[in-house]
Chain A
């Protein structure tokens, strides 16, 4: 197991190095950063000073090493816009995004797994067909449009048409509570109301994916001999589905859910923009549009690190869940 983790860690380091080179190459070498950093009115002397300050007069490999050295300690310079260190900005905005992503993923799993299992258990029933059709809608419709429609429906149309219909908030996080220094919305009723629409928007596509995955996995497991054998043992349908089938499909579902968490955090970029959710996704879009390079770079490095770690954790989780893999790893 330890060997397995060490090997995966080394792969993760390789990926980090490759990605840092790409980020560095993409952001620092394409286009001239100086023109972006210095106003047009700056004198030649000022220009040279800035170039020296940024180390742009040094060879590329040295610039890269400097970049990596600073990145390791989380130093990406100050945001042009906010004047604060970029890393600090990212960390300020991170809890909001993680909270949103986790709630969305939870929602997707809680809705997707039961529906998917139902559709897998009775594939020819009318309801199962309905579920599958809706799931096609779920992943066909682009996230941003779903968000707009939810706003239109729950924040504009329904409260107008039906008197007394509560108007769901469509912007911001609502009141937050400090838990261990993190600002979180999930501990107030207002916070939950604010979370509802953005989380539902994010959850829809992922829920559709989980429905399809669960259904496929269920259909793959059902014809297995061990399910038939469980029936031959006289087990109740509930135990067969709830233990024998669920435990087997849990492995792919958990793996995919873990990996998709990265996707959700990435897609939060869109959702946060629509719902003015003050997370790091909105921060990224604002920074891109305003050419706030240090923040963009800091975001990229953080997200790459996060995704690499997520992959690693999912791999380990997978081996913990599947006894076959687990013992093989121990044997090595």
Chain B
């Protein structure tokens, strides 16, 4: 930085908040200052609520084949069911499932896959990353070389091949997603830990002769978490999109438990025939979820990045 910048930005004018402002309040104020991010948060909440409460909110249980009336298939939005008991606000798909209900249940699968895979990948990646950073030397070189190799290959290809080998199923999709995601977290965790390792509190803990394991988990880990949480937020969106893509290609979840991607794939064949709703609505729901998560994650990154502090 030049002297001019130092002149412009006196100490205390930039990052440091006045004494009354706690970091948490500042964070909340920063977050709420951005209406787009708030909008994203609302989207996420709506989508998550619809998914969680699907069994109580959905007009129909799309998994219950007995409830489906084959004469109701591919009905446009707003039509009444042939037994007159309910209105298909968003139409029905090729198997006569109410689109709205199928989407709510599909969202459950999508969110579940996204959240679980990220949590597991985060755990694995953090352990690997912290281990590499803390022990350094050969351990570090070996682990990071693995991460580099993994990351130089497109996630979609790795996942595709894994699924081709493993076969179909929600659990298989989870394995594939975890396998492609852990490396991001490992790299980020290592980077964060390398910075934290040099700080005084770690030095102090070492001087107290605390056991290594305790320093690693009780001192380093909590301080490395914020950047990891930002990545995790965005990765949930990645995971959901990847799962949808795999399911669309026919390699993801089975037909019996359709995620949003699978629903869209089912609608693809009817698209050219002008039956747009089967692919459009699940896609919109998917887009809502992904955009919401990305808006929140994007803004979190802006706030938590000290470089962007104004």
Contacts and interface: CB of A to CB of B under 8 A. Distances in A.
Touch between chains A and B, by CB atoms below 8 Å:
yes
B157 A269 contact: yes
Contact of A303 (B157, B162, B244, B251): B157
A267 B242 CA distance: 11
B289 to A, nearest CB: 9
A102 interface: no
Given A144-B248, A148-B283, A303-B157, A136 B152 contact: no
B154 A133 contact: no
A142 B157 contact: no
B14 interface: no
Interface stretch (B22-30, B127-135, B218-226, B274-282): B274-282
A134 to B, nearest CB: 11
A144 B156 contact: no
A138 B36 CA distance: 16
B241 to A, nearest CB: 4
Interface string A156-173: 110010000000001000
B291 A136 contact: yes
A156 B249 contact: no
B2 interface: yes
B157 A156 contact: no
Interface string B231-252: 0000001000100110011110
Contacts of A149: 280, 283
A19 to B, nearest CB: 7
A49 interface: no
A294 to B, nearest CB: 13
Interface residues of A, number: 48
Interface string B151-174: 011101100111011000000000
Nearest to A129: B36
Contact of B250 (A26, A141, A284, A289): A289
Nearest to A148: B279
A157 B280 CA distance: 13
Contact of A145 (B160, B264, B274): B264
A269 B249 contact: yes
Contacts of B245: 142-144, 270
B264 A262 contact: no
A65 interface: no
Nearest to B242: A142
Contacts of A273: 249
B208 interface: no
Contact of A269 (B36, B160, B280): B160
Contacts of B164: 288, 296
A77 B286 CA distance: 41
A300 B294 contact: no
A317 interface: no
A243 interface: no
A145 B249 CA distance: 12
A243 to B, nearest CB: 22
A263 interface: yes
A139 B294 contact: yes
A119 interface: no
B287 interface: yes
A181 interface: no
B287 A141 contact: yes
Nearest to B293: A140
A142 B241 contact: yes
A311 B156 contact: no
Contacts of B237: 140
Nearest to A303: B157
Given A26-B165, A152-B271, A300-B161, 9 more contacts: A133-B36, A137-B291, A141-B291, A148-B283, A152-B276, A155-B272, A223-B5, A288-B251, A307-B153
20 contacts: A136-B291, A140-B291, A142-B241, A142-B244, A142-B245, A142-B261, A144-B245, A144-B248, A144-B249, A144-B264, A145-B286, A151-B271, A151-B272, A152-B276, A152-B280, A156-B272, A266-B156, A285-B160, A285-B250, A288-B160
Interface of B: 2, 5, 36, 149, 152-154, 156-157, 160-162, 164-165, 237, 241, 244-245, 248-251, 261, 264, 267-268, 271-272, 274, 276, 279-280, 283, 286-287, 290-291, 293-295, 298
Closest 7 CB pairs of A and B: A266-B154, A140-B290, A145-B283, A142-B241, A140-B294, A288-B164, A140-B291
